[in-house]
Amino acid sequence: MLSLFLISTSNQLSRSLLFYLVAFPPSSPLLSLNAAIPMSESAYGLLASLAFTAFFALSSLLVGPLVDSRRLGSRAALSVLSCAAWSSALLLQSAATSYPQLLGLRLLTGLACSLTNPVSYPLISDSFPAEAAAGKTSLFSTSVYLGGGLASLSALLTQSLGWRATCQVAGLLGLAAALLGQLLIVDPLDAAPPPAGSRAPFAASSLIPPPPVRLLLLASLLRFCAGLTIGVWSASYFAAAFPASASSYAVVNALIVSLIGALSAFSGGRIADGLARGGRSRLLVPAAASLLAAPLWYLTVSAPTFPLAMALLALSYLVAECWFGPAISALQAASAGRGGAAQGQFTVASALANGAPALLGAAVSGGLLGEGAGGGLGDGLKWGVAGCYVACAAVFKVAADEDEARAKYD
């Protein structure tokens, strides 16, 4: 599990690194990617979100059923190869000189990163007992917060060495994780015979989620809209709102994302497993967490001082980030042996949610939300993210009620 954890950490670092390589307004070509390769806010929003999803969504949807049938071979080998691919894309990004080059490399990164979840979560599910599902999944998901924290800390490396060197360091770390994975990852199904029907023609019906999964995917889509909008735009917002605290933000945000986020994720899994043992749905955890996160995030962006904003940001992460493990464990339980397909559909939901930060970027560039960090981007972040939190809380609650009703019927 350690090697999968490190590969997942590299995955998150690779997809999030771009967020910390740009600044509006840009500084010097050494320190800001968008000074060396000029782009508008809307072009950055496209590059950071929708461009990443172009192959990410399609590949995730197709790979899941293929992983379940083992048509693509060992899940261990797929984990290693995908990590090597996105790490190589980062190394090439360090030499980019034009926006089309960045766009193409972002597409390649999306394609490679899309393999991780449909491979890793079913692999973990097959390696540990069902009664510890949410806990193990939540422990693995803390890699997302560690990778996000490293991406935030990369702002300090960029200030010292420049954005190109930062891409090189991140790419080399990913290649090291791939090498370790090659040595340590073991797929328990490698020694088992292929499942029945593995040589049958690919069926389009395998791409359609079963009814219990659909509500989970909708709730997750809304939750990803909130999280990705925060991830793409919060660094730009806080840099504009508190310019004197830019360096402090890089450190504080890294600690919040990595430590507070990981603590929340791990705690959410343990709480969810406890609820399940008592006959309650694990999905009550993301429902309650998302509802509480809405006012905390609104207050974070409304805070008049940097210390207060960071304190509220820490609280919002502590409350909000416990959703992932319970949602994934419920998804795997509801997928009825199609864990790879369900995870691919879940990844597609996250990919579609990249439209939210792109829309916000377009609204800010078009002046639809007013002027300045507070009147434009700030208002978009406050109302957009809080609204997504409330909506996904409602859907998670409906899914939890149905989950408990099915359990009683069974």
Range 213-237 average pLDDT: 90
Asked whether 342 and 64 are in contact (CB, 8 A), the reply is yes
Is the per-residue pLDDT at 372 higher than 60?
no
Choose the weakest-confidence range: 13-27, 140-154, 190-204: 190-204
Give the model's confidence band at 408: pLDDT under 50 very low, under 70 low, under 90 confident, else very high.
confident
Q: How confident is the model at residue 209 (pLDDT cuts 50, 70, 90)?
A: confident
Tell me: the pLDDT tens digits for 15-35? 889 988 988 888 899 999 999
Cis peptide before 122 (omega within 30 of 0): no
The pLDDT score that the predictor gives to residue 207 is 64
Amino acid, res. 329: S
In tens, the pLDDT along 286-341 reads 999 999 999 999 999 999 999 999 999 999 999 999 998 889 888 877 776 676 77
Q: What is the pLDDT of residue 346?
A: 85
At 101, the pLDDT band (50, 70, 90 cuts) reads: very high
Element counts in the chain: helices (H) and strands (E): 19, 0
Residue extents of the structural domains in the chain: 2-186+210-409
Can you say whether the dihedral through the CA atoms of 347, 353, 355, 357 is positive or negative?
negative
Number of residues in the chain: 410
CATH class, range 2-186+210-409: mainly alpha
Burial bucket for residue 95 (CB in 10 Å: 0-12, 13-18, 19+): exposed
| Residue 234 burial by Cβ neighbours in a 10 Å radius (0-12, 13-18, 19+) | buried
Distances (CA, A) of 152 to 105, 156, 282: 21, 8, 31
Rounded-to-10 torsion of CA 102, 104, 105, 110: 120
Query: Residue 195 — pLDDT band, cuts 50, 70, 90?
Result: low
Angle value at C-alpha 267, between 406 and 117, nearest 5 degrees: 70
Report field, pTM of the whole predicted structure over 0.85 = no
At 373 the pLDDT is: 46
Tell me, what amino acid is at 199? R
Asked if residue 65 lies in contact with residue 202, where contact means CB atoms within 8 angstroms, the answer is yes
CA–CA separation, 364 and 372 (whole Å): 9
